[in-house]
Amino acid sequence: MRLITFTEGNRTRIGALNGDAVVDLSVAAPDLATNMLTFLEAGESAMASARDAAGGETHFSLADVRLEAPLRSPKIIGIGLNYRAHAEESGMELPKWPLVFTKQSQSINAPFDPIYWSEDSKLLDYEGELGVVIGKTCRRVPKDKAPSVIAGFCIVNDVSVRDWQTRGTPPSFTMGKSWDTHCPLGPAITTPDEVDPHSLQLKTWVNDELRQDTNTNDLIFDSYELIEFLSTAFTLEVGTVIATGTPSGVGAAMNPRSFLTVGDVVRIEIEGLGRIENTVIEEPQGTTRF
């Protein structure tokens, strides 16, 4: 099942994709919450109701609705240097433990909405990643039980402002990772029965030039190992998104380096999950500025 949040007729609610058509769950299963986070918090019974409805009558063409970010996550956890080839291109030793940072939830962006570029930095970079969405509030989850707490998977672009990321001693990853619009997410939450997270092809294009092309089997710490590691220290809440790390091919590691500029289009595809595509624009002057 592929769960989405969509807007149609000035009303936003959750749905399920059936090919290129949308099942409006507010119609097909009216007892369900219309907000994705509330829906996930309702647990397995809500998921079962959605699954029953997802194969039924469709209500809209995908082309006739606006896809939103699947959910407004309460917590976004990023993992650095988690692909072998990316660690090597960065000139770093393979980590012994996951390198963990956070992205602020305000960075979440819809799967086809623009990414903001500003004069504050010209070192804007892309990072195509597999995202894991937590479906059960959990703590101290052993690796073999990790599949039971996953609601599904999505695509994440961990957009990074490289000079802000490396400022300070030690560097402040959160400041370089959390700018508004810098976490495009989607297009859907694909449930675990649809894909094997340990063997998915991931590709990123910038202006139709293929930059990243790898498989999640190159991850140093896979999705289940990350859940075990993270939940040892703190509770993973429902709706938490874990961005599992980016493969080789980021702009900062190219020779010469190649950062995003206004007009660039970043497209990320992951096998079984679909695609997200975002155009870089100059940050509008009216965006909550004083």
Over range 41-68, report the average pLDDT: 96
Among 67, 94, 112, which residue terminates a domain?
Answer: 67
Has residue 288 been placed in a domain? no
Q: In the predicted model, is pLDDT for residue 288 greater than 80? A: no
Q: What is the pTM of this model?
A: 0.96
Clarify whether residues 96 and 215 are in a common domain.
yes
CB 128 within 8 A of CB 155: yes
> What is the domain extent for residue 26?
2-67
Instruction: 87-91: list long-range contacts, CB under 8 Å, 24+ apart.
Output: 87/220, 88/248, 89/248, 89/249, 89/250, 89/253, 90/253
Clarify whether residues 38 and 150 are in a common domain.
no
Has residue 290 been placed in a domain? no
Which value, in Å, is the radius of gyration of the alpha carbons in the chain?
18
pLDDT at 92: 78
Please give the structure tokens belonging to residue 182: 């810098």
- Residue 94's pLDDT band, with cuts at 50, 70 and 90, is confident
Chain centroid to CA 268: 11
Clarify whether residues 63 and 93 are in a common domain.
no
Clarify whether residues 92 and 207 are in a common domain.
yes
pLDDT at 220: 96
Q: How far is CA 189 from CA 30, 153, 169, in A?
A: 20, 5, 37
Spatial separation of the C-alpha atoms in residues 29 and 46, rounded to whole Å: 9
Clarify whether residues 82 and 129 are in a common domain.
yes
Clarify whether residues 231 and 104 are in a common domain.
yes
Number of structural domains (the chain) is 2
